[in-house]
Chains A and B, each alone.
Chain A
Amino acid sequence: MADSIITEEMQAVVGIESEPWTLEVSNTSARMFARSVGYTDPLFYDEAFAKSKGYRGIPAAPHYLGTPVFDPRNSDPTFGARRGSGPRLKHNFKRVLNGGTDIEYFDTICAGDVLTATNKIAELQERQGSLGVMLITITETTYRRDGQVVAISRGTGINY
């Protein structure tokens, strides 16, 4: 594959687990998330109501896996994620699109939870698309609370 955009150096990064980073779920962040998805269910806004329905607190609405602790010294200014926590994938593409999301839950996440996440590049692919040659990166992120896995997400990134 002489013309492959995926170099040996890039392939060597696949599977390497990152350093952990911390994500917080607060009443305020859980409400802001639910509001942005258009939920009207008091479950996602009213702590007493959530407890009356058997939840430990306001639950994180589906897709919300906490907010990475932002620190301008090491957070990405656009996406908020921690930078440099794992080996960098070097490529020359300037543009990025989100190709897909898959989330699996093993427990309910509620406001007050502090999560620890690590990620790794699970797979690299290259594809021809309407925007030209694209680099497809599947990143798998594991979220833990007190050492127990509460969720795993798989994201597909498209660079072009």
Chain B
Amino acid sequence: MVATDQKQLTYEDVEIGQQLELKITPSTQQLVQWAAGSGDFYQIHYDTEFAKSTGLQGIIVHGALKHAFLGRMLHEWIRYDGRVKRWGVSYRGMDLPGQEMTCRGVVTGKRQEGGENLVDLDVWTENPQGQKTTPGTATVSLPSRG
């Protein structure tokens, strides 16, 4: 469970090169929950025979779920007074249910723009072989200590 009394991250706390990490092993149950939560009932995410008939090895994790996992990693870092402004990824490699996926981020820049304190990051998911299966970038805004 996340701690709700964790100190709010501020713009001043962030340093370039700072790293984020969130490890998740999505189960087939989670893929079904995601189907309901997102409204995407494409059968390649829960029906092995169907997935194979499309040329895949088996069931794969929804790309959009990996985007949402990276959004969760960002939220759990920036907390209640931070906001995810933008994040975009490419689904380069397929991830399989039951395999550990590591969501990672690294701070690449800080800028104050239009009254906002913005932090830029590279974000990605990694499979157990260490390959980046979902590379992308993100921008979050944070409160300032003033």
A residues bordering B, Cβ < 8 Å? 29, 32-43, 49, 53-55, 61-64, 67-68, 70, 77-81, 95-105, 108, 131, 154, 156
Contact = CB atoms under 8 A, between A and B. Distances in A.
B69 interface: yes
A99 B62 CA distance: 11
21 contacts: A33-B37, A36-B38, A38-B72, A39-B75, A55-B80, A61-B72, A62-B74, A63-B67, A70-B39, A77-B41, A78-B40, A79-B39, A80-B39, A80-B40, A80-B41, A98-B64, A100-B63, A100-B89, A102-B86, A104-B85, A154-B88
Interface string B1-34: 1101000000000000000000010000010011
B100 to A, nearest CB: 13
B90 interface: yes
A38 B30 contact: yes
Given A36-B34, A37-B34, A68-B39, A63 B4 contact: no
Given A43-B80, A102-B89, A61 B40 contact: no
Interface in B95-143: 136
Contact of A98 (B43, B63, B75, B85): B63
A102 B83 contact: no
Given A37-B72, A62-B74, A79-B41, A103 B33 contact: no
A37 B140 CA distance: 19
A11 B30 CA distance: 38
Nearest to A33: B37
A99 B90 contact: yes
A101 B64 contact: yes
B37 A101 contact: no
B87 A103 contact: yes
Contacts of A80: 39-41
B58 interface: no
Interface of B: 1-2, 4, 24, 30, 33-34, 36-43, 54-55, 62-65, 67-69, 71-72, 74-76, 80-81, 83-91, 136
A97 B136 CA distance: 18
Most B CB atoms within 10 A — which of A33, A42, A53, A100? A100
B40 A101 contact: no
B83 to A, nearest CB: 7
Contacts of B62: 98
B41 A103 contact: no
Most B CB atoms within 10 A — which of A81, A98, A131, A156? A98
B40 A156 contact: no
B101 to A, nearest CB: 11
A97 B64 CA distance: 11
A156 B75 CA distance: 24
Contacts of B84: 62, 105
